[in-house]
Chain A
Amino acid sequence: MALRELSSLEKYLGLKKPNKYSTQGDKKVPVLQNNNGPPLLGLATIACHLAKEAKRPELLGDTAESRAVVQQWLEYRVTKLDSCTKEDIKFILKDLNLYLQDKVYLAGNRFTVADTLMYYGIHPLIVDLAIQEKEQYVNVTRWFDHIQHYPGVRHHLPPVVVLKNRIYTSRHH
C-alpha cells in the first residue's frame, strides 16, 4: 500500500527515475535504499526526501509555521490514521471536519505533501462512507474531492463520488 503511494507521489512530483523500495517488519514500513548515503526509513521521511529531490521544497511548507503544520499532519497520518480502529473513524472524521471548516488545504492556503499523504491515507475510509455520512463530514469530503481532482494526485486510487448538493436536511432521518 505504502509503496504504491510512494510511486504515485513520485509520478506527481515528476521524478523520471522510479526509486526502488523494500519493506521492513510486520507493519511493512517502507525503506528507500539511497544511492548516496544511509537507507531512509518511513513513509513521511521518504516523502519529504522525494519532495526535496524533485526540487519542490515548497510542498513541505513555505513558512516556518506551515512547515511545522505539514510535519504535524504527516505525523498524524502515520500515527493516528494508519492505526485507527473502526471506533476511531468517527472521531477522526469529526475532528478533521472541524479543522477543515475554514481551510482549503491542510496547511492553510497552499497545497503540500501533507494533503497528498492524508488523501492517500483517508481514501479507504471515505470509500466506505454512505452519502449521508459524506454530507455529515462535509468539510472533509469537500477537501477530499478537491484533492482527488488536484492534477496528478489521484493515480492508483479509484475516484469517489461526492455530491455537490446537500440532499439531507439537518432534521430529517
Chain B
Amino acid sequence: MTKEGVQGATEEEQQAQSKKALKKQQKEAEKAAKKAEKQAKLTAEQTTEEDDFAKDRYGLSAMVQSQQKLDRELVRVQDLTPEKADQLIWLRARVHTSRAKGKQCFLVLRQQQFNVQALVAVGDRASKQMVKFAANITKESIVDVEASVRKVEQKIESCSQQDVELHIERIFVISQAEPRLPLQLEDAVRPDGEGEEEGRATVNQDTKLDNRVIDLRTTTSQAIFRLQSGVCQLFRDTLTHKGFVEIQTPKIISAASEGGANVFTVSYFKTSAYLAQSPQLYKQMCICADFDKVFCVGPVFRAEDSNTHRHLTEFVGLDIEMAFNYHYHEVIDSITDTMVQIFKGLRDNFQTEIQTVNKQFPSEPFKFLEPTLRLEYTEGVAMLREAGVEMGDEDDLSTPNEKLLGRLVKEKYDTDFYVLDKYPLAVRPFYTMPDPNNAKYSNSYDMFMRGEEILSGAQRIHDAQLLTERATHHQIDLEKIKSYIDSFRFGAPPHGGGGIGLERVCMLYLGLHNVRQTSMFPRDPKRLTP
C-alpha cells in the first residue's frame, strides 16, 4: 500500500512532470504553428506578390555600379514649388521619417537642409504591398522616387517645402541604412530646453561628434558649413580683388614661429621637425620676395593642452601679410575692410543659413560699424578700470576681461567687431615692431568679434639687426631662425599682417558657444577621431 502510495506519488510526480513537459511541448508546438503560419503568410504574400500589380514600381535597386546611363533628370527638393504642380518628376533623397496609417504611408524626404512630404497611398498606382514596403524603409536610406507634385491646401509646417507634396508612383531604395541610428536627427537639432516637458532627448556634444557623419546631416550643421564655405570664398574674393596673391606654405617646419611651448614635434627622418603654428615666417619671406600682398588659407597647429570652448589643436588659418607705405594702419584698414566685406556678404547672401542656425541656437544679429572701430589698448584698459577691473598697464587681457571689454564696447558703440591697437610689447611675439613713441607698447593689434579674439596681428620688424636683438631678448635660438632673419638682409619693405581662425569667425558670427560646432572634424587634446 505504502509502496503503491509511493509509486502513486512518483507516478503523480511523473504525471505532473509530464504535464509540464506536455505544456511545454504544446507551447512549442504552438510556436512552431505560429511560425509556420507566419511563413505561410509570408509565402502567401510572396505568392500574392506575384499577382501584385505594382511589383515593378518599388523594390531594392541593384547596387549602382554605373551599369547604365539613365536619361533621367533628378529634381532637387528645394526646387519643388507650386510651379511644378501636377508634373511627374524623379527625385533622389533620404527618408527622413516615415509614418504608415492604414492604406497610406507618409514619408518626409530630405535633401540637405530641405525636405518635402511624400505620400504612398493604395490606389491604381500603388498596391498594398508597395505601401507596406515604403513604410518599412529604414530612416536615412537613400531612395529614388517618381512622383507627381501636388499643391496642398494647408501649409505643411514641418517641411521646408510647405506648399506642395509628392504623390509617389515609384520608389526604389538606392542605399539602405541600418535600422538603428546612433542618434536621431530631430534630437540633434532640438534647441536647448525645448521639449523637456515631453521628456524628449537632446544629444550632447560628444555624441554628436562621435557620430559626426550623421550629425553633419542636420539642418543646423548643413547651414553652418555652407556659411563657413562662404566665409572662405568671401575672404578670397575680397583679397584677390584688392590685388593679393594666394600662396601655399609648408606645414612641416624646422623652427617654432611663436614660442616653442605650443608646437607639435614630429619625427623627420633622423631629426625632428615641427607642425606650423602659423605661416608667419613664410608669408613674411614672400613679402621680402616682392609678392607685396599675400594671403593663405590652410591648417594651423597648436599644441596647447587647453580644453576650452574656443581652442582646437588644428584649425584653419586665414592669414594675411602685406607691405605698406608709411604707417601700419594701412594694414589694419585693409584687414578690417576685408572683414566687413565678409560680414556684409554673409548678411546679404546667407540669410537662410543664418536663420536655420538661429532656430537651434538663438542669437542677436551680428553688428559692425563702417569704418571699423579702433581703440587703443590704454583706452580699453581705462574702460575696464572704469567698470571696476583692477589690472596693470602692461598686463595682457584675461579671457573674462576680454569678454567684458567686448560687452562694454558693444554698449558704448553698438558694434560686435572692433580693433584693439597698440598692445604692450611684452605680451607679443619677438617679431613685433615696437612703438616709436613708447617703448613699452608695440605696433600690434587684435580684432574681436562678440568680445572674443579672432585675429592677432602687428607690424613686423623688417630690419635684420633689430630682429636679431628682439629674438635674443626672447631667448630664441638664432641658429634655427637664421634663414628667416637672413631674408631681411637684402632689402625688405615695411610690412604687417594678421591671422584669423576660420572656425572662430564662424562661431562668433553665428553667436555659437563652442568652436567644435564650426569645425567639421574637430581636433582637440582629447579628440583625434573621427
Contacts and interface: CB of A to CB of B under 8 A. Distances in A.
Interface of A: 130-131, 160-161, 163, 165-169, 171-173
Given A130-B400, A172-B363, A172-B364, A167 B408 contact: yes
Q: Which of A131, A161, A168 has the most CB of B within 10 A?
A: A131
A141 B363 CA distance: 27
Interface in B386-428: 386-388, 400, 403-404, 407-408, 410-411
9 contacts: A131-B387, A131-B404, A161-B387, A163-B387, A167-B407, A168-B407, A171-B362, A172-B364, A173-B513
Given A131-B387, A160-B388, A169 B364 contact: yes
Contacts of B403: 173
Nearest to B451: A173
B151 to A, nearest CB: 38
Given A131-B404, A167-B411, A161 B386 contact: yes
B359 to A, nearest CB: 14
Contacts of A130: 400
Interface of B: 362-364, 386-388, 400, 403-404, 407-408, 410-411, 511, 513
Contact of A167 (B364, B410, B513): B410
B386 A165 contact: no
Q: Which of B404, B407, B411 has the most CB of A within 10 A?
A: B407
A167 B387 CA distance: 11
Top 4 closest pairs, chain A to chain B, by CB: A161-B388, A167-B407, A167-B411, A165-B411
A162 to B, nearest CB: 8
Contacts of A172: 363-364, 511
A41 B387 CA distance: 40
Q: Which of B362, B387, B388, B403 has the most CB of A within 10 A?
A: B388
A160 B511 CA distance: 31
A165 B414 CA distance: 13
B191 to A, nearest CB: 12
A131 to B, nearest CB: 6
Nearest to B410: A167
Contacts of B387: 131, 161, 163
A43 to B, nearest CB: 28
Contacts of B400: 130
Nearest to B513: A173
Contacts of B364: 169, 171-172
A142 to B, nearest CB: 16
Nearest to A161: B388
Given A131-B407, A169-B364, 10 more contacts: A130-B400, A131-B404, A161-B386, A163-B387, A166-B411, A168-B407, A171-B362, A171-B363, A171-B364, A172-B511
